[in-house]
Chain A
Amino acid sequence: MAVDTVEWYDWSELPPARPLRHENRRIYVGSETCARFLPGLEQALDYCQAQIDMGRYLTVVTSWLSDEFLAKAIELIELLSERHQQLEVVCNDWGLLHAANGRFACELVAGRLLAVQRTDPRLAMFGRVALQRTMEKDVPHVEGFTARLKHCAPSSALLAHLRQSPLDCPQTLNLLQTKHVHRFEVSNLLQGLETSPRAGWRVTLHYPDVLIAVARDCRSLSSRKCPGKPDSTCSTPVAHAYDDFPVSLYRDANAWFYANPNVPDNLSEMGIDRLVRKRKLSSRPW
């Protein structure tokens, strides 16, 4: 199976004009975590037209949505699907997927927020038995006693559970198919990834950035007030290192991420035919 590599841009960021190669024909644009990044219709049309003129296909990424932003997203999809024959929309909200199903000439994709993977990088430490055993110690316990804290090696069932996406269950995939969805997206988990490819299904892998957690707005994660509309400081990633985590974390707008650049070597076996990476993070300083 051929694997496309696709770059992901903000609405404020135009991709460079460059020679077309088959694998570069599609670009992603939008935010999966903050609806305030949804563009105005005029801006979106201009952006879309510029990409069509360069022979590119567009995938519009949307976030979780309140009713106010759901209406905006629907309006945007309606407009762009009329202009662009190859439009894809990544839905990160069941409400959008439900409302847009069958209404527009575009392909709907189940995004990473619907895949709800277990994305804490510390999960990768479960199986490091020798390292874990160095931490065994006495801890306070009931009735004034102490107890020996010991490592419990994870079962193969637990490890499989941690690598799978809840979306990747037959019941959910069948439901998605009734809504004409045939592609879902996952993150490149540090603890490893397991998907069970089925006929007719395609999987997109985001790398290296693994989305861990999302807040309603930046105010929930810092003292910074949300400007209402995105500004230049809105999406400037900030890196953090913690002793407890095997990798650095970073905050980008209202969400936390880590990076895992090691792409699995069994992409085809997992049904993965597309790799997506955020362009603005490709030159991260950490």
Chain B
Amino acid sequence: MNDKPILRIRPKIVSPVCSSDELRNAVEMGANEVYCGMIPPLVGKRFGYDDIISRRQGRLANVTSMETMKSMLLESSRLHIPVALAINSHLSRSLLPHVVGLAETWARAGGSAVLLSDIALLIALKRKALPLKYHLSIMAAVFNTAAIDFYAELGVQRVVLPRELLFPEIARMTASHPSIEFEALVLHDRCPFIDGLCGFYHGTSFAPGTATSEPCTSSSRTHERRVYSNNLFYTGHGCSILLNSTDASHVQYCEEVEHKNLPACAACQLSQLAEAGVGFLKIAGRGLRATDKARSVSFVRTAVDQWHCTTDAAKARSTIRRLYQEAFGQPCDDSKCYYQAGA
């Protein structure tokens, strides 16, 4: 009888954070690495705070001051936790110089990696020989081994894989690139579109009941509070707007899948991901509240522990489904699983 655990090596957990407090909480809950976004004030003033340097919108999902960035990096140094800065939007020649400057500041302050997808940025940063690792964001939409060859030649050391890949496809990619680290999303992000092939704008919605109707873009805490937006008609990401579709088959899909407000998840598939060569498990949700981020890390850590201590896959999945309900308040649903067969 084989009494070895299904998951022999624990993959590392990568958590989103927006402050040193969140970083500390994430590590306490079991994160091995963290990542954050940042919009420097000067960039925010010139280009706005939405969908500019990364796809996560507004101040809520980003560090917006140098002081916060520095205190976070001091904490990460104390705890020996690598921090990646997400600069994963596709840029433009107008924005690129500002973002290169941000990455230089990040490297000087002790940041360990940049998560990116823009080729011009990658080339520009490599030329500067900054002491940074380069992680290729899910926004690069890498679907084949030749694309990994391409980015590896440009200096990428880790690849975050698209959610739409199948396990055999992942295994082929990892096996052919032993010197590259592979990371995969395991919680929260669930857009029907391929992340790197979506041109919908990610703005800030102020519609009642949306996540961002809470504090996010306060320009002043004094006498008269004002909140600014480039588009006051904006009511949500393209993928959520499309839920109002007149296409009957799309409506049916939405009713079946999208209206269930549950985190998408790969906790039941961690052993398959690890077996396919994925060493890092990414939790999405930079814009979530601090308590939700901590709960997410705790859930994924417990799921990893389940796979690490059992020889019974069915039992692990059953336990993880119970843990999911405890963590997120509702039973999980197969429609929310990552890495499903496409057809």
Contacts and interface: CB of A to CB of B under 8 A. Distances in A.
Nearest to B237: A120
B149 A67 contact: no
A92 to B, nearest CB: 9
Number of contact residues on A: which range applies?
A: 35 or more
Interface in A222-277: 222-228, 238, 240-242, 244-245, 249, 251, 256
A148 B203 CA distance: 18
Interface stretch (B14-22, B212-220, B306-314, B324-332): B212-220
A11 interface: no
Given A98-B146, A126-B230, A221 B201 contact: no
B123 A161 contact: no
B120 A214 contact: no
A168 interface: yes
Interface stretch (B69-77, B248-256, B262-270): B248-256
Given A66-B144, A221-B250, A169 B96 contact: yes
Interface string A166-199: 1011111001000000000000000000001000
A95 B46 contact: no
B343 interface: yes
Nearest to A214: B197
Interface string B121-159: 001100000000000000011111111111100000000
B232 A149 contact: yes
Contacts of A216: 164, 194, 342
Contacts of A148: 224-227
B90 A166 contact: yes
Contacts of B92: 160-161, 164-166, 168-169
A64 B123 contact: no
A125 interface: yes
Interface of B: 46-48, 51-52, 90-96, 118-120, 123-124, 140-151, 164-165, 169, 172-173, 192-194, 196-201, 203, 206, 208, 213-215, 218, 224-236, 238-239, 241-242, 244-247, 249-250, 252-253, 256, 342-343
Contacts of A68: 169
Contacts of A97: 150
Contacts of B228: 149-152
A31 interface: no
**6 nearest A-B pairs in the assembled complex, by CB-CB distance:** A119-B199, A95-B147, A95-B146, A135-B232, A147-B225, A169-B120
A98 B242 contact: no
B227 A65 contact: no
Contacts of A251: 247, 250
B97 to A, nearest CB: 10
Contact of B151 (A94, A150, A168, A212): A94
Contacts of A242: 241, 244
Contacts of B143: 64-67, 93, 95
B91 A98 contact: no
Interface centre among A120, A155, A256 (most CB of B within 10 A): A120
Contacts of B124: 171
Given A170-B120, A245-B241, A150 B147 contact: no
7 contacts: A68-B169, A120-B238, A142-B218, A151-B229, A155-B48, A222-B247, A225-B343
Interface stretch (A18-26, A48-56, A77-85, A110-118): A110-118
A170 B93 contact: yes
A142 B232 contact: no
Given A161-B95, A245-B241, A67 B200 contact: no
B198 A65 contact: no
B199 A212 contact: yes
Contact of B119 (A96, A172, A222): A172
A136 interface: yes
A71 B235 CA distance: 42
Contacts of B150: 94-95, 97-98
Nearest to A99: B146
Contact of B93 (A94, A145, A169, A240): A169
A150 B230 CA distance: 9
A213 interface: yes
Contact of B249 (A126, A149, A223): A223
A152 B226 CA distance: 11
A224 B249 contact: yes
A1 interface: no
A128 B208 CA distance: 24
Contact of B46 (A155, A166, A172, A221): A155
B252 A223 contact: yes
A70 interface: yes
A141 B222 CA distance: 13
Nearest to B127: A171
Contacts of A135: 232-233
B192 A220 contact: yes
Nearest to B207: A139
Contacts of A116: 90, 196-197, 199
A140 B193 contact: no
A223 B255 CA distance: 10
A136 B250 CA distance: 32
Contacts of B145: 67, 70, 95
A6 interface: no
A62 to B, nearest CB: 12
B146 A113 contact: no
A158 interface: yes
A108 interface: no
A216 B166 CA distance: 11
Given A97-B150, A213-B194, A222-B247, 10 more contacts: A67-B145, A94-B140, A94-B147, A125-B233, A160-B92, A166-B90, A166-B120, A238-B247, A256-B193, A256-B238
